[in-house]
Chain A
Amino acid sequence: MTDLGRAASAREKSAAAVSKVLALLGDREHRGVVVDSPPGAGKSTLVVRAARELAAAGEPLIVVAQTNNQVDDLVDRLAEAAPELAIGRLCGQGYVPSDGVARHAGVVVEQQVRVLGGCLVIAGTAAKWATVSEGYWRWAIVDEAYQMRSDMLLRIAGRFSRGLFVGDPGQLDPFSTVEVDRWTGLTWDPMLSAVAVLLRNNPGLPVCQLPVSWRLPSSAAPVVAEAFYPFTGFTAGSDAGQRRVEFSTRAFGAGLLDEAIDLAAASGWALYELPARHTIRTDGEATAACAALAERVLQRGLICYSERAPGGELAGPGRIAIGTAHRDQAQAIRAQLGPLSAAGVTVDTANRLQGREFDLTIVLHPLSGRRDATAFHLEAGRLCVLTSRHRHACIVVARAGIPELLDAHPATEPVHLNVPAKFPDGWAANHAVMAHLANRKVRAL
C-alpha cells in the first residue's frame, strides 16, 4: 500500500469508529458508552466532537476531566471548534484561567454552577463536580475515566442520566494511600477505576475502541499494542516514510551515546544497557546516562519529519522528555541535567507524564538495578505510559538482567474470588517489551 493509501485507510477506520460512537450516543438504548482509546488515538478530538453534537441537539451536558490542565485543554479545543457555543468552566477556589481558556470570550469561568445556568456545556474537574449538590444534566462526558477512582464516580453520577466514558485502559490505574482489602471482590470496590466498576455493574454497556494511534510511529504501535493492548490492538496512523528523524550534525566523539541515539533514530527504539548491578533507586550511573543522552540529542540537533512537518523541524528541549518510576529519580536526573532542565526538557514520573506527547523520550526502566520486582514496578500501566509518549523514538536506559529478574519474580499476587483477571499482565508486558528491545541493545561502558 502506498503512504497515501495507508493514511487514507487509517483515517477511514478512525472515522468509522467515531461515527459508531456518535450513533450509539444517539440511540436511547444504553445509559452509557465506554470508549477505549490507545495512546494518541484522538481521544480529545472525540470528546470535542461528541460535546458539539450533543450540544447541537440541544442536550445540556457536563464535561468531567481529572485535572485542571485536562479541563482547560478540552475547553480550549471545544471553544476553538465551536466559537458560538456557550461554555462554562466550573472551577475551584484559587483557580487562575490558563491562556487557552482566557483567550475565548465565550467561556464563562465561575465557581458556582448556579451562575452557569445559561451554558449548554459546563466543564470542570471531577473533584469540583463532586462538590456540586444541585442540578441534573442529560449527558456527561467523562474524560480519562480509567484514571478516575470509582468512589469519585459515585459522587458525581447523581448529576447526570447518561454518560460517555472515554479513557486509555493501558495507562496507570488510580491508587489509594491506604492499603485495605476489605472491598476486594465487590463490584463497587472504591479502589477500582470508574470504568471497571461501571462495566461490572452494567455489563451490557457498549465498549468501543479507537483503532488508530496518531501519535505512535509505525515502529512503536505494534510493540505497544502487543504488550499492553493484547486483545484490542491498534495500528499507527502514519508509516515509516512519513516519520523519520535526522540530526543536523553527525556523530563524533560520544561513542556509545551516539550509537544508541542513531539506533533509536533508525529503528524507533534503543536499549542503552548498563552493566548488571544492584543499585539504590537513584542509581547514579543510570541517571547520568539519561541526562547525557538527552544532552547529546540536543547537541546534535534533532530534526523530525512527520505528516505535520513534512519539511522537517528542529525539536527543541520542550519536545524531549525523560520518564522515571519514582519522584526522587526524576529529581536526580533534573539535578544532572542542570541548565538543560531549566531550558525545558521534561523530567517526570509516569503518573505525571500521562496524557502528554513528545518527539523523543528517554525512559529509565522501572526495574533497572532492582533486586526484586514488586507489583508497583511491574505494573503494566507504568511501562505503557513510559513507552508510549513519543512520536518518533524512545531510548530505554536500564541495567542488564531485567529478563532474568522477571523470571526470578513470577507474579505471586493472590487470586481473589469474584475478581476478573486483569489484562495485560505486568509481568508478561515487561517481558514483551524487553524481548523487542533485545536486538536493539547498545552495551554501555
Chain B
Amino acid sequence: MSALLAFARAQAVAAGIAQPVSTVRHVHLSDRPLVLIALTLAGEANAPLAAMVGDGPESGRLLIVSQPRNRDQRFAFAAELAGIVVGHIDRYRESAGAVRPGRAGRRERYADAPQIIVPNPASIGFVRLLGRSTRFRRPVGEYAVDPAVPVLGRWLTFFAERAEVPGSSLLLAATQALALHWASGQSMVEDLNLAALMGWIDPPAGLTGAEAATIAEDPLAWPPAGPATDPTFDNEVLAPLIRACSRHGMSSLRQELAVFDLHKALAGQLAPTWKLMWRAVELLRALPPGQRVAARWESDRDAFTSYCEHLRDGGPPQPRRDSAVAAARRLNSLERSQASYAAQRALDDPLVLAQYRLTGEAFGGLVTTAEPDRVDASGKRRKLRPLITVLTDDPVRIEPGSDLVSPNRPGQSAKVRSVSGGSVGTSVVLELSGGMGRALTAAPGSVPETGERLCYTTLTDSYQARGPFPDREATPWTHGGPPPAYTPTHADVTEDWS
C-alpha cells in the first residue's frame, strides 16, 4: 500500500466516509453490463447453488439448483445460465455492422464487447472453475450435455483468463473496481465484503461509513455476496429445504412447494447484493472516464473479436494447462500490460501520479527557466532541443539520462540533463524533444513557458515489443521438450465435475 493510500484510509476513518483516490474512472463500463452473482454449496467444490444474472437492475433472473449434489441438475443449471450469458454475448457478435475495419484494413474488431460484472474476486474464481468444468463437455456420447454448456465453458474461461490481464474490463469484480477509486476506513480484507465497502462509500443517510459497514457485517441484513453462503443460513434454512426438495416418496405437489420455498429463500439471499451491484455500477458510472480507458477497451474488444473468430473457426477449448511456451508468452504479455496499465493510470489521473511523486518516480514543479529555441548542432543534423529547468519540492529519485514524459504533454519526451538539490528545492534540467513541429523554432505553446506548473514522470506508456519466443514445437530440452499436441477425446467427459 502506498503512503498516499494509507493516508487516504486514515482520512476516511476521521471523516467517517470513504475518500476518493482517483479523479477519473479507470475501468470501462458498458451501457448494459451483465451482472452475475453466484452462490455455491458449502462443502462441495464449486457446486452452483444459485445465480442471479441480468443486464439491467429490473431484468435480473434467478436460477437455482434444488439439489446441487446432483450432476444432471448442475448441467441443467449450466445450460440455463448459458442461455442468458451466451445470449448476451451473441448480441454483440450478431448486431449488424458490428465489425469495422481496423488500421489499414488489417484488423477487424467488433464495435463493442460484452462486459460481465461480479461482486468480488472470489466470484471471478467461480467463473473460472465453472468454465473449467464445462468447457470439455460434449453434446453427444456418454454424459451428453446441452450443446450450449461447452460453449458457456469456453466463454467463461475466456472471461476469467482475461480478468488476469491488468487493465482489462471484460470481467470486473465490483469490490476491486470500487477500491480502485475510493479508500475506505477498513482493512483491505474487509474491503472484499461488497456490502461493507459500499457502506463506507455510500452510507445511508444519517449513518457514518463505519456504522454502515458494521451493519453490513450482519448476514441477516446483508447476506454474503457469494460464492460462499452464510453458514447459519446453510444450517437453518438451506439444509432443511434441500432435504425437502429431494425427499423420496413425497408427492409432487409437496416437492414443488419445497422448491418454491427454496427459490424464495435464495432470492432473499441474492436480492440485497443485486441492488448493491447496480448501485456500485451507478457510482462508478458517475465518474468521468480516464483519457486512456477507451484505448484499453479497444484491446479488450480485440481479444473478444479474436476469440469469436477462434470459435467460428472451430478452434479447440482452452487447454487445461499452459504449455511452457504458452506460459512464458502469457507472462510476458501480462507484464507488459501491467507496466502500461500503471503508466496509463498515472498519466490519466493526478491523484495516482501523486503516489509516484511521493516515491520519487515523478515530480511536479514550476518552470523557472526555458530556452525554447535551443538547437543541438552536435550531430549530423541540427535538431531543436529546448531546455527547461523545473524547480520542485518533491523528493526526486531520478538519475540524469532518464527519459521522462509529462501527463500534460504526452507527445513530448524529456531527457534529464541534471538534478541538483538546493535549499529551496530540487532543480531538474530537462532537454525536450518531439511535439514541437518540424521547423527549428518551436511551434507556439509547444515548449513549457517560465512560470508554468508541470509534472514529469519516468513511467511511459510507449509501446513495448513482444518478446521473441520459440514455437511450441521447438520447446527446448531445458523445459521438457515439445509437448504432445492436445486432441479432444472422449475421456474428457469422464472427468469429475469438480
Instruction: Mark A residues whose CB is within 8 Å of B.
Output: 31-32, 130-131, 133, 150-151, 153-155, 157-158, 163, 176-178, 180, 182-183, 186-191, 194, 197-198, 201-202, 327-328, 331
Contacts and interface: CB of A to CB of B under 8 A. Distances in A.
Contacts of B478: 32, 153-154, 157, 163, 194, 197-198, 201-202
Contacts, number: 87
Interface in B443-497: 467-470, 474-480
B338 A178 contact: yes
B166 A178 contact: yes
Range for the number of chain B residues in contact with chain A: 20 to 34
B322 to A, nearest CB: 6
Nearest to B395: A331
Given A155-B469, A190-B328, A182 B477 contact: no
A323 B470 CA distance: 39
Given A31-B477, A198-B478, A331-B360, A155 B470 contact: yes
Given A188-B480, A198-B478, A182 B164 contact: yes
A187 B335 contact: no
B146 to A, nearest CB: 28
Contact of B479 (A32, A157, A163, A180): A157
B476 A157 contact: yes
A180 B338 CA distance: 12
A201 B334 CA distance: 25
Given A154-B324, A154-B470, A178-B335, 13 more contacts: A133-B468, A151-B327, A154-B325, A154-B475, A155-B470, A158-B476, A178-B334, A183-B327, A187-B480, A188-B324, A188-B327, A190-B327, A328-B360
Max chain A Cβ within 10 angstroms of own Cβ: one of B164, B476, B480: B476
A197 B334 contact: no
A180 B331 contact: yes
A154 B339 contact: no
B327 A189 contact: yes
B61 interface: no
B474 A155 contact: no
Nearest to A198: B478
Contacts of A188: 323-324, 327-328, 479-480
14 contacts: A31-B477, A32-B478, A151-B332, A153-B476, A157-B477, A158-B470, A178-B334, A186-B327, A190-B331, A194-B478, A197-B479, A202-B477, A328-B359, A328-B360
Contacts of B334: 178, 180
Given A176-B331, A176-B335, A186-B327, A155 B479 contact: no
A187 B324 CA distance: 9
A367 to B, nearest CB: 18
Smallest CB-CB A-B distances: 4 pairs:
A157-B476, A151-B328, A188-B324, A201-B480
Contacts of B397: 327, 331
A401 to B, nearest CB: 22
B321 interface: yes
A201 B323 CA distance: 13
Contacts of A189: 327
B467 A130 contact: yes
Nearest to B325: A154
Interface string B314-329: 0000000111110110
